[in-house]
A = this chain, B = another copy of it.
C-alpha cells in the first residue's frame, strides 16, 4: 500500500476532511455528518490520513478529536516549488498570451 501525502489528497472526501479539520478539530462522528456515507467509511479515510501523518489526534474521554498536521501539506508546497519558477517566468506568460491570441482568432 502506497501511503503518502499525494495519495492522501487524491480522494475528494479526504480533501474535504482536511479542509474541515483545518478550521477546527473534530470527532469522527461530527465529521461524518458532513458526508453522504457511513461513519465507518469516514473513519477509514481518517485512518489513511493518520497513516500519512496528515492528521493528529487528541483523546477526550471516549471522543477523539482530529486536527490537521500541516507539515505534510508543506511537502506538497515544496514539490510545487520547481514548477512555480516556470509559471512565474516571462516565457511562460508569453506562451499564454500567444495561446489566448490563437483562441480569439478561432
Question: Size of chain A's interface in residues, with CB distance under 8 A?
Answer: 25
**Does A70 contact B82, Cβ atoms closer than 8 Å?**
no
CB interface residues, A 4-57, toward B, < 8 Å: 6-7, 9-10, 12, 15, 18-19, 22
Which residues of the partner chain B approach A80 to less than 8 Å between Cβ atoms? 73, 76-77, 80
Instruction: Please determine whether B73 and A77 come into contact, CB atoms closer than 8 angstroms.
Output: no
Contact with B along A65-82 (1 / 0, CB 8 A): 000101101101101101
Least distance between A24 CB and chain B CB atoms (Å): 11
Partner of A83, one of B22, B82, B87: B22
A7 to B9, CA, bound (A): 8
